[in-house]
Amino acid sequence: MYQLTLAEIARALADKQFSSEELSRSLLARIKQLDPQLNSFITVTEELALEQARAADARRAAGENGALLGAPIGHKDLFCTQDVLTSCASKILQGFKAPYNATVVEKLNAAGTITLGKLNMDEFAMGSANESSHYGAVKNPWDTSRVPGGSSGGSAAAVAARLLPAATGTDTGGSIRQPAALTNLTGIKPTYGRVSRWGMIAYASSLDQGGPLARTAEDCALLLQAMAGFDPKDSTSVEQPVDDYLAALAQPLSGLRIGLPKEYFGAGLDARIGEKVMAVVEELKKLGATVKEISLPNMQHAIPAYYVIAPAEASSNLSRFDGVRFGYRCENPVNLEDLYKRSRGEGFGAEVKRRIMVGTYALSAGYYDAYYLKAQKIRRLIKNDFLKAFNEVDVILGPTTPNLAWKLGEKNADPVSAYLEDIYTITANLAGIPGLSMPAGFVDGLPVGVQLLGNYFQEGRLLNVAHQYQQVSDWHKQTPKGF
């Protein structure tokens, strides 16, 4: 059962091959047995899962037949889940149980999904390796001495190891797509505003976006269909009808115009990854696509702009964690200032402190214009590059990451080298456009991902291209040894 995709689970449940409770019990046993090797879960919600599974079975017995009804998933541990620990993988949220569900959780609950647990992540989603978690690093099931990518590394590792068929993630600068690439999954970051951010604990409010991680584009379409839509509780949510993503999957690719940015294939890209990307391009050409070289000239400024904007927003968002209202509080504070300083000093990890300091500096008097304002102007130039490109092409294709999954601890002494792993993914967040990563093969036994970028609200097009490629390839069907 654990090898089944979400779409296959839906068919099997409809055919009464097994019940949701049987499937959930099987996966819970598998999590108990295998997750100690990976550390992908922070909380396993066994009682909740079995209660939801029995309810889903009752709904099916009464004649309901929704695609996600009875399907087990997990949530990245920054989606608030009622009466369940929501920690953002940080000591400062120690013991915090949200009194409500995030809109994404509520929508997926309504669709009948089963929550098997909350998944490990980089602390407050700050990282590219899932090594900054208060609960310890997550390991990549393809090679447990390596990182699974971040910040949605727990979600990616659990799905790749077949502990779950799919999971939610969030993407602020590549945090769905990069771990998808490093663990052989399909993951999509929707257009900013397509999926509600209400109840999703913020890192950088103008960049964060929730989305699904699964093994196939079809499964991502199933999940995104349930997750997407306008939410009046979220001021950044866009009031626009949701496309039929499943219907879009079957469209032929004849006439599809693919753009290859010359900036993606220069220095810094592992040549072996470049070869895998071009092999995907050749397959898409066989399916009817045409290809042309394009330019995204301001991409070179993306990393510095992102690492001003995101920390600036983080310094503001994380000011609420002060030891007063919820979460961790230092012992025996002598006054209010001591309470603030020690609660935050003891509660936040090193990477979070680094980004808060950078962001506070960038927003301070005398530096706002020099750093934050200039970064926002660069952001607009990057958006303009994409708008110009999408006048010429339908999708933009390139590598998801410049390198393969690296060894645990390898980049800890040099955070900038880890930041550079996001070079191809960050631009989509700065511009607010959708991006998808899909499996494209292996180098030395490690997965390689190809990234597709689309125009605003063109998630259906990205899922369509990925699905059509997955009909003529089987990279997405490969399973890590031992799992």
Catalytic residue among 24, 151, 152, 315: 151
Is the backbone peptide bond immediately before 196 cis, with ω within 30 degrees of 0?
no
Residue 266 has pLDDT above 90, yes or no: no
Which DSSP string do the residues of 415-448 spell out, in sequence order? HHHHHGGGTTTHHHHHHT--EEEEEEEEETTEEE
Angstrom distance (rounded) from CA 368 to CA 360: 10
- Residue whose C-alpha is closest to residue 382's, from 434, 427, 429: 427
Q: Which residues of 219-253 are buried (b: 16+ CB within 10 A; e: fewer)?
A: bbbbbbbbbbbebeebeebbeeebbebbebbeeeb
Q: pLDDT by residue (tens digit) across 283-302?
A: 999 999 999 999 999 999 99
- Residue whose C-alpha is closest to residue 57's, from 24, 101, 79: 24
pTM of the model: 0.96
User: How is residue 174 written in tokens?
Assistant: 């590549």
Q: pLDDT by residue (tens digit) across 100-126?
A: 999 999 999 999 999 999 999 999 999
- Is there a contact between 123 and 88 (Cβ–Cβ < 8 Å)? yes
Q: In a 10 Å sphere around its CB, with 0-12 CB exposed, 13-18 middle and 19+ buried, how is residue 451 labelled?
A: buried
Angstrom distance (rounded) from CA 71 to CA 209: 23
> Which fold does the domain 6-258+391-477 belong to in CATH?
Amidase signature (AS) enzymes (3.90.1300)
Helix (H/G/I), strand (E/B), else coil: 233: coil
Which DSSP string do the residues of 72-125 spell out, in sequence order? EEEEETTB--TTSB--TT-GGGTT-B-SS--HHHHHHHHTT-EEEEEE--SGGG
CA distances for 50 relative to 34, 98, 159, angstroms: 20, 20, 19
Q: Active site includes 374? A: no
CA distances for 167 relative to 105, 107, 120, 399, 447, angstroms: 11, 14, 11, 23, 19
pLDDT, the chain, mean: 96
Angstrom distance (rounded) from CA 379 to CA 364: 20
Angstrom distance (rounded) from CA 10 to CA 476: 19
pLDDT for the residue numbered 410: 93
Average pLDDT, integer, range 245-266: 96
Catalytic residue among 20, 24, 40, 76: 76
- Is there a contact between 152 and 446 (Cβ–Cβ < 8 Å)? no
Angstrom distance (rounded) from CA 359 to CA 259: 34
- Count Cα neighbours of 255 within 13 Å in the Cβ-side half-sphere: 3
Q: Where are the domains of the chain?
A: 6-258+391-477
pLDDT for the residue numbered 436: 98
Q: Active site includes 155? A: no
* β strands within 9-82, DSSP E: 41-44, 72-76
pLDDT for the residue numbered 307: 93
Q: Active site includes 235? A: no
Q: How many CB atoms lie within 10 A of CB 329?
A: 18
Catalytic residue among 24, 90, 175, 315: 175
Angstrom distance (rounded) from CA 474 to CA 284: 14
- Residue whose C-alpha is closest to residue 52's, from 111, 118, 128, 9: 111
- Residue whose C-alpha is closest to residue 236's, from 201, 199, 192: 192
Q: In a 10 Å sphere around its CB, with 0-12 CB exposed, 13-18 middle and 19+ buried, how is residue 468 labelled?
A: buried
Q: pLDDT by residue (tens digit) across 357-381?
A: 999 999 988 888 889 999 999 999 9
Angstrom distance (rounded) from CA 249 to CA 217: 8
Angstrom distance (rounded) from CA 375 to CA 317: 19
Report the amino acid identity of residue 405: A
| Crossing angle between the packed helical segments 350-363 and 302-317, to the nearest 10 degrees | 100
- Is there a contact between 399 and 273 (Cβ–Cβ < 8 Å)? yes
- Residue whose C-alpha is closest to residue 199's, from 212, 187, 210: 210
Average pLDDT, integer, range 385-391: 98
% of the chain at pLDDT higher than 70: 100
Q: pLDDT by residue (tens digit) across 149-186?
A: 999 999 999 999 999 999 999 999 999 999 999 999 99
pLDDT for the residue numbered 419: 87
